[in-house]
Amino acid sequence: MAPRPVTLITGASAGLGVEFAKQCAARGDEVVLVARRKDRLNQLAAELGKAHVIAADLAKPKAPAELLKEIRSRDLWVRTLINNAGFGLRGRFDTLPLDRQLEMIDLNIRSLTNLAFVVLDDMRANGGGAILNVASTAAFQPGPNMAVYFATKAYVLSFTEALHEEWKDRGIKVSALCPGPTRTEFGDVAGIKALGSFDRLAMDAGPVVKAGLDGLESNSAVVIPGIANKAGALSAQLAPRSVVRKIAGSLKF
């Protein structure tokens, strides 16, 4: 029996990951849910009715290869990868724990890159596939007081656009989803108690995920949900860098 195609969703235990799982399952995908918190994954899988659960800490260097090996052992192959796992931290660079900041780089950059690489073999062998990397509108500017997080998302955006160009005529879709403030658990982990003046502009997870999946389907290189987020990203690209970083550094959360 030939391996079955699945949609692999990382960071599936909370926030956008949960919504990705629900929307992908609703459209008929067989989903593989990955995160550290197995109890949450099991609860979500029970709600979806049909899903594979794999608990893994993707910040560990060998985790992506081990994850793919486990998926193949179940006679599955990754047709769609939703690279959603990641986290942020708010605070001045020298006041935040170095080990947590390095872990952020490992998860937001290293793991995302590693997973994109290891799934390509199966995609090529099976005639196509799709990769959605979750970046952020933070990718369009430097972020004083969230320096490492903003920098990791700039990498994700640049990396994804490059892959999109490499694969756009070769049967594999690659898109970067760049949401702005979104109502998820992200702020709790990052140490952001509220979205401040941006709270009224924050989007719910549902429309953000739908925009990402629709953009991936149409093979858009960059997907920015919401008019306000599109305007903000554009202004960050047009304004002088000195102005952009001062404005970003003055934002209160």
Q: What is the pLDDT of residues 195-221, one digit of tens each?
A: 455 566 788 999 999 999 999 999 999
pLDDT range class, residue 10, cuts 50, 70, 90 = very high
* DSSP symbols for 169-217: TTTEEEEEE---SBSSSHHHHHT----GGGGGGPBPHHHHHHHHHHHHH
For the CA atoms of 103, 109, 111, 112, the dihedral, rounded to the nearest 10 degrees, stands at 150
10: three-class secondary structure by DSSP: strand
pLDDT at position 100: 97
How far apart are alpha carbons 69 and 199 in whole angstroms? 42
Torsion over CA: 51, 52, 55, 59 (sign): negative
How far apart are alpha carbons 17 and 84 in whole angstroms? 6
pLDDT higher than threshold 70 for residue 45: yes
The string of pLDDT tens digits covering residues 124-136 is 999 999 999 999 9
- Name the token pair of 148: 């490492």
**CB 46: neighbour CB atoms within 10 A?**
10
How far apart are alpha carbons 136 and 156 in whole angstroms? 9
pLDDT at position 14: 92
The string of pLDDT tens digits covering residues 51-64 is 999 999 999 999 99
pLDDT range class, residue 182, cuts 50, 70, 90 = confident
Q: Percentage of the chain with pLDDT > 70? A: 84
How far apart are alpha carbons 142 and 158 in whole angstroms? 14
pLDDT range class, residue 253, cuts 50, 70, 90 = very low
pLDDT range class, residue 190, cuts 50, 70, 90 = very low
The string of pLDDT tens digits covering residues 78-125 is 999 999 999 999 999 999 999 999 999 999 999 999 999 999 999 999
pLDDT higher than threshold 80 for residue 246: no
